[in-house]
Amino acid sequence: MRREVLTKRSESLFHEMPSTGCAVHGCQAGSNDPAGASTRLAGPVRSLQRIARVQLGIVVQRYGESITGGAEYHARRVAQHLAAAGHQVTVLTSTSRDARRWDNAFPPGASRDGDVRVMRFAVRSRLLRELARGMETARALVGASPVTFRQLWTIWANPYVPGLVSHLARGPRYDAVFFFTYFYYPSLAGALVAPTYRIGVPLGHDDPDFSTPMVRRMLRAFDAILTNTEEERDLVQRVLQGSPPMPASWRAPPIVVAGCGVDPPPAVIPPRPIAAPYVVYLGRMKPGTELLREGWAAFRSRYGTETFPCDGPRTARGNEIVLATIGDGELATIAGDGWKVVGHVPSAERWAWCAHAELLVNPSLYESLSLTLLEAWWVSRPVAVREQCEVMANQVARARGGVTFSEAGSFADEIARLLRDPVLRRDAGESGRSFATTRYAWPAVMAHYKAVLAGVSCVKPIPRS
């Protein structure tokens, strides 16, 4: 019933859809409480290779070896692991490379990424996106659509790829489809129309957009949900329970904390990229990174003349230590004294920047996991993270892998505390390594994916309308 309705309703993003849920791995949903749903997959898990080979789709906004971004890395590595297990995997994505301009950098159509089939769909022109935005705005103005103007970013600030959504709606051609990230049009629209088993990997974080009706409707359309952390699981549960309430017959999708694996560094890490000791930030410009300017200025002002014992062994004054930001040249727009801004670099060079740093900082306000923490811990580097980001703060506490800060002053003080104490840096880095290489190794992560895939056999595809 639910999928038949969704198949017929492929044109609008802005109407709540009831869900009947689905049993997973032979388990019946016994409660309307999402918290209870998160435990339904407990118990022994079959080997991924022993699960029947299935046709899988993976929806993600951008895809490719040259694409930077945590969500894109996550989706690509999951696709590769599933394909290596013998499943037939097709990635459904846009032709864009640039996540700011949403250009059509890649040709549309089918291609290969090793064992993974890739289908790219053209991003519609800005004019057509504006027309679509205008239609949805008109619906909102006349009360036909429960959205706010803030939420219209799903049309005009995202890769508008109606061809991808139409491709999903024509199913069933996939036994199951994974939808990566909550923020983008392909998942928000595609989850409502795919007439097959839908698995959400929302990569959610506690910002205002995650609690909107559009995201809630997408989450309720999923048959199962995979999250990166316990904090993300709890956030998803809160959003699922929001308004409008669902019918009493609705059963919440099971939620599994799976995480994302990190590929180990190369056997031989390249030599340090610069001679000076440095603190590193790996990532792009995002909400929270503006604190780097004020925080690093505070560190240099307060501790510029203090001598610190750095790795090497050697010593350096505070004003001789560099803040290196790697991955996004746009950070040059906020850079101050004592910075080195480097854009995108190859993987081996990125590992070199990470491994030879005194410590890694991440001031982001919103994360569903933060792969950069796992990378730092993998090479035994301590971290300093934003206290207001619950996911990262709790990860650091679980791993005993670093410190937290809340504003520019505590940023400066906590960095100085780590720099003063090489034993503290060593112990935090080693503890973080033990945490990252066990919980977030790829075999451990993929065990949760195979548990969810075991539920695919209980879903029978619906004949096309």
What is the rounded distance in angstroms from the CA atom of residue 275 to the CA atom of residue 174? 52
The pLDDT of residue 249: 82
User: Counting beta carbons within 10 angstroms of the beta carbon of residue 296, is it exposed (0 to 12), middle (13 to 18) or buried (19 or more)?
Assistant: buried
What pLDDT digit, counting tens, does each position of 224-268 carry?
Answer: 999 999 999 999 999 998 877 888 888 889 999 999 998 889 999
The pLDDT of residue 45: 33
Positions in the chain whose pLDDT score sits under 70: 1-52, 125-157, 172, 457-465
The pLDDT of residue 127: 54
Separation in Å, CA 123 to CA 93, 174, 182, 201: 10, 23, 18, 22
- Per the document, the length of the chain is 465
Task: Report the side by side order of strands in the sheet with 383-386.
Answer: 339-342, 322-326, 278-282, 359-362, 383-386, 402-405
The pLDDT of residue 130: 59
What is the rounded distance in angstroms from the CA atom of residue 156 to the CA atom of residue 146? 17
The pLDDT of residue 15: 39
Separation in Å, CA 36 to CA 31, 254, 418: 7, 8, 41
Tokens 């890739």, located at residue: 118
H helix or E strand, kind and range, residue 5: helix 2-8
Tell which residue, 277, 282, 305, has the closest CA to residue 292: 282
The pLDDT of residue 461: 41
What pLDDT digit, counting tens, does each position of 257-285 carry?
Answer: 999 998 889 999 999 999 999 999 999 88
What is the rounded distance in angstroms from the CA atom of residue 63 to the CA atom of residue 119? 10
Q: How do beta strands 197-201 and 176-180 pair?
A: parallel
The pLDDT of residue 85: 92
Q: Is the separation of the CB atoms in 377 and 351 below 8 Å? A: no
One-letter-per-residue 3-state SS of 112-174? EECCEEEEEECCCCHHHHHHHHHHHHHHHHCCCCCCCHHHHHHHHCCCCCHHHHHHHHCCCCC
H helix or E strand, kind and range, residue 426: helix 422-439
Region of residue 352 (phi > 0: left; psi between -120 and 50: alpha; otherwise: beta): alpha
The pLDDT of residue 17: 37
> Which residues have CB under 8 Å from 138's CB, separation 6+?
none
The pLDDT of residue 14: 37
The Cα angle at residue 159 between residues 175 and 453, in degrees rounded to 5: 20
- The yes or no reply on domain 2-261+443-458 and CATH 3.10.20.30 is no
What pLDDT digit, counting tens, does each position of 157-215 carry?
Answer: 678 898 999 999 987 689 999 999 998 889 999 999 999 999 999 999 887 788 888 88
What is the rounded distance in angstroms from the CA atom of residue 132 to the CA atom of residue 159? 12
What is the rounded distance in angstroms from the CA atom of residue 98 to the CA atom of residue 110? 20
The pLDDT of residue 415: 98
What pTM does this model have? Answer: 0.77
CATH 3.40.50.2000 residue spans of the chain: 2-261+443-458, 278-440
What is the rounded distance in angstroms from the CA atom of residue 419 to the CA atom of residue 32? 50
Tell which residue, 440, 446, 371, 451, has the closest CA to residue 82: 446
Cis status of the peptide bond prior to 313, with omega within 30 of 0: yes
Write the DSSP string, 328-382. -GGGGGT--TTEEEE----HHHHHHHHHTSSEEEE--S--SS-HHHHHHHHTT--
The pLDDT of residue 131: 61
Tokens 């491994």, located at residue: 355
Write the DSSP string, 16-82. --------BTTBPP--S-HHHHTTTT-S----GGGSPP-EEEEE-S--STT---HHHHHHHHHHHHH
The pLDDT of residue 1: 41
Among the CATH numbers 3.40.50.620, 3.20.20.70, 3.40.50.2000, 3.30.420.300, which is that of 278-440?
3.40.50.2000
The pLDDT of residue 365: 93
What is the rounded distance in angstroms from the CA atom of residue 255 to the CA atom of residue 39? 7
H helix or E strand, kind and range, residue 297: helix 291-303
